Amino acid sequence: MPLVCLKDFKAHARERLSKSSWDFIEGVADEGITRDENIAAFKKIRLRPRYLRDVSEVDTRTTIQGEEISAPICISPTAFHGIFWPDGEVSTARAAQAAGICYITSTFASCTLEDIVASAPQGLRWFQLYVQSDWQLNKQLIQRVESLGFKALVITVDAPIIGKRREDIRNQFDLMKSLQLKNLRLPTERNSLPCTQAPPISASFCWDNLSWIQSITQLPIILKGILTKEDAELAVEHNVHGIIVSNHGGRQLDEVPASIDALSEVVSAVKGKIEVYLDGGVRTGTDVLKALALGAKCIFLGRPILWGLAYKGEDGVEEVLNILKNEFHTSMSLIGCRSVAEINRDLIQFSRL
């Protein structure tokens, strides 16, 4: 039976993975309210289609930070892809390159940055940084990714400490004990670092530290995890280049707003001065359209990419991306949009249900 939607990949991934691996994908903070709300909030938005328009040719292409992508559907940073497929991030990077979209590589990748780049040399890649307590290590990482051709630096801001993930605790962190960190040492140091010996993420990183990072790199800086107008305004004041509206998939602070619910507030706050993206809860092509109608430049996809990877590696990720891209193309056609630029807020309304 063919897999026809992203939800189908979830079922197959669950069958293929151990309990601890599955819990790692689906793990949430506390009661998981935010994770569930991320998906449910999209269903409170209804579409207002416009008909009798020529949609014989529909173009899904757009740009992010000046780089063209085939559709406003990209890959969020997620850790340890090697848990789900032997080639890990190498497979993910190849799929992203084939799909013509951006892949944000995690600080906690299973593969070395050099191997990921070599596997997909033409791919558009950004790097996600968990700011470390060791500032020399941060400098080495940032300059390393810039030299490797990564096009943007995505700083995760919503994880000064790790949220309480109940399933990881119940599993006694067994999965973590076998994981290796490949990129928190210099490439010349051949030994990987056990995950259990990872240096701490900085709990003191704040707005004043951004200028130091900006002083050591030419890469555009994107902040991932912003949810409020106050922080969005500060991001603009501190000359960052973009914001990813995200709640970490409900894995950090539970009971914060769904990403799609926070999007309008952030978009309004930046007043078009920087690009805004959305991460969290996207499962269909109409979800992508709704996010763009509310002002997102593109969406980033997290868990569904891991479902595809667990199902069939590179081919599975490519299938997930192609299904979502095709659904988005269909939604654009049926709502009356010939280009991404034509998608606007007039095409949606909020349900009273």
pLDDT of residue 53: 97
Q: Which amino acid is at 197?
A: Q
pLDDT tens per residue across span 3-55: 999 999 999 999 999 998 999 999 899 999 999 999 999 999 999 999 999 99
Is 78 annotated in a binding site? The answer is: yes
169 CB-near residues (< 8 Å, 6+ apart): none
What's the confidence (pLDDT) of residue 190? 56
pLDDT band at 331 (very low <50, low <70, confident <90, very high): very high
The residues annotated as belonging to the active site are: 248
281 is in an annotated binding site: yes
pLDDT over threshold 90, residue 200: no
Q: Binding residue per annotation — 197?
A: no
pLDDT at 353: 56
- When pLDDT is cut at 50, 70 and 90, the band that residue 298 belongs to is very high
Please write the tens of the pLDDT for every residue from 80-105.
Answer: 999 999 999 999 999 999 999 999 99
d(CA 96, CA 99): 5
Residue 173 is predicted with a pLDDT of 64
Q: What is the pTM assigned to this prediction?
A: 0.96
Cα–Cα distances in angstroms (integers) from residue 305 to residues 37, 57, 89, 312, 324, in the given order: 19, 28, 11, 11, 11
- Reported as a pLDDT band with limits 50, 70 and 90, residue 226 is very high
Q: Give the model's pLDDT for residue 187.
A: 59
Q: Give dist(CA 353, CA 351) in Å, integer.
A: 5
| 184 — pLDDT class (breaks 50, 70, 90) | confident
Looking at residue 279, its pLDDT comes to 98
pLDDT value of position 171: 80
The residue behind tokens 């106050």 is 230
Question: Which pair of tokens denotes residue 40?
Answer: 């449910």
Is 277 annotated in some ligand binding site?
A: no
Q: Name residues whose C-beta falls within 8 Å of residue 159's C-beta, 6 or more positions apart in sequence.
A: 130, 201, 225, 248, 252
Structure tokens at 132: 């470390």
- Cβ neighbours of residue 31 closer than 8 Å, sequence gap 6 or more: 254, 255
The reported pLDDT for the residue numbered 195 is 66
Query: Is residue 248 marked as binding?
Result: yes
- As a whole number of angstroms, the distance between CA 187 and CA 159 comes to 26
